Amino acid sequence: MSVQAGAPTHQAREVFDHLRLALDHNRPVALATVIRGEPLGGKLLVLPDRTVGSFGDTELDAAVIAGARSALASERSATLSYPVPGHTESTEIFIEVFPAPPTLLIFGAVHVAQALCRFAKQLGFTVIVSDARAKLATEDRFPEADRIIQAWPDDTLAELDLAPNTYVAILTHDPKFDEPALLGSLDTAAAYIGAVGSRKTNEDRRERLVAAGLPADRLERIHGPIGLDIGAETPEEMAISILAEIIAVRYGRAGGLLTAATGAIRGPSDDA
């Protein structure tokens, strides 16, 4: 039965109430709406741990839930088509995704980290700063940070759940900090793991990690030297370089010059 214009049904109100609650708490959520077919205007809300609403067809519900979770993982809204048994036309469903804000985890409360924290907040990131040095990891130095953890990398990572929308910047310049941070981050679903240091520093670090038993293919996840090649020198320029690479990774871009690029200028790459 189609949803008619007028006052929203009880189910629609329940869907929108849960949607509003999820958005208020920055929880990832996807809203699926039938835009062609039956039930026209019907809605199904997909959250990480549950769903709200139904299209009245268990098979369609299951297919849409799977599609919505995939759309949430890619952080892309999409219109999907589902065949209707016994009919030539398909049911079209628009899945609108509302991903949780991306998280930036910074290891090392150094000068670059201060600029990186400030700029990342302006871009909508949830920012966590971690450093065992209590004199550096303070609210005075990082007033924009959502959370400051005064702990060694292993302890910090034990406290956190690094989701696929988490980006890790390791800025410590000290093997006793950065190597545990790297090893721990590689065991997570983090979308990006970048480590500061020169090419020589990163080569030496990779050799030590392989010697310690880390499979060489896992090192491919590490972006080091961290950031894009823009000639950055000041802490602010370095922070922009790092954020530029993170944004490129997030949207599946190579990070090159737009004058040499093909395809759409904005948004995710068609090849991502």
Q: What is the pLDDT of residues 164-193, one digit of tens each?
A: 899 999 999 888 899 999 999 999 999 999
4: pLDDT strictly greater than 70:
no
Query: What is the band of 252 on the pLDDT scale with cuts at 50, 70, 90?
Result: confident
For residue 207, what pLDDT is reported?
Answer: 87
Whole-number Å distance between alpha carbons of 172 and 177: 6
Query: What is the band of 258 on the pLDDT scale with cuts at 50, 70, 90?
Result: confident
- DSSP one-letter string for 116-169: HHHHHHHTT-EEEEE-S-TTTS-TTT-TT-SEEE-S-HHHHHHH----TTEEEE
Q: In what order do the strands lie in the sheet with 90-98?
A: 51-53, 43-46, 29-36, 90-98, 78-83
153: pLDDT strictly greater than 80:
yes
For residue 6, what pLDDT is reported?
Answer: 44
2: pLDDT strictly greater than 90:
no
Highest mean pLDDT among 88-92, 117-121, 268-272: 117-121
CB 115 within 8 A of CB 49: no
Q: What is the CATH number of the domain that holds 131?
A: 3.40.50.720
Is there a single domain that holds both residue 116 and residue 231? yes
- Using alpha carbons only, what angle is made at residue 165 by residues 161 and 167, rounded to the nearest 5 degrees? 85
Is there a single domain that holds both residue 46 and residue 69? yes
In degrees to the nearest 10, what's the CA dihedral of 1, 7, 32, 80?
60
Report percent pLDDT > 70 for the chain: 93
For residue 48, what pLDDT is reported?
Answer: 86
Is there a single domain that holds both residue 76 and residue 123? no
Last residue of a domain, one of 45, 65, 98: 98
Q: What is the mean pLDDT of the chain?
A: 90
Is there a single domain that holds both residue 175 and residue 229? yes
What is the residue range of 64's domain? 12-98
Residue with tokens 């950065």: 178
Is there a single domain that holds both residue 51 and residue 181? no
| 187 located within any domain | yes
267: pLDDT strictly greater than 70:
no
Is there a single domain that holds both residue 26 and residue 146? no
Region 7-14: what's the mean pLDDT?
Answer: 76
Is there a single domain that holds both residue 195 and residue 86? no
More confident residue, 12 or 166: 166
pTM over 0.85: no
271: pLDDT strictly greater than 60:
no
- With 0-12 / 13-18 / 19 or more C-beta atoms within 10 angstroms meaning exposed / middle / buried, residue 40 is middle
- Using alpha carbons only, what angle is made at residue 268 by residues 264 and 269, rounded to the nearest 5 degrees? 60
Is there a single domain that holds both residue 30 and residue 159? no
For residue 3, what pLDDT is reported?
Answer: 39
More confident residue, 148 or 173: 148
Query: Of 106-115, 147-156, 207-216, 222-231, which gets the smallest average pLDDT?
Result: 207-216
Last residue of a domain, one of 44, 68, 98: 98
Is there a single domain that holds both residue 55 and residue 183? no
More confident residue, 216 or 43: 43
Sign of CA dihedral 111, 117, 120, 125: positive
Is there a single domain that holds both residue 72 and residue 200? no
Query: Of 36-45, 186-195, 212-221, which gets the smallest average pLDDT?
Result: 212-221
For residue 263, what pLDDT is reported?
Answer: 67
Q: How many domains does the chain have?
A: 2
Alpha-carbon radius of gyration of the chain: 22
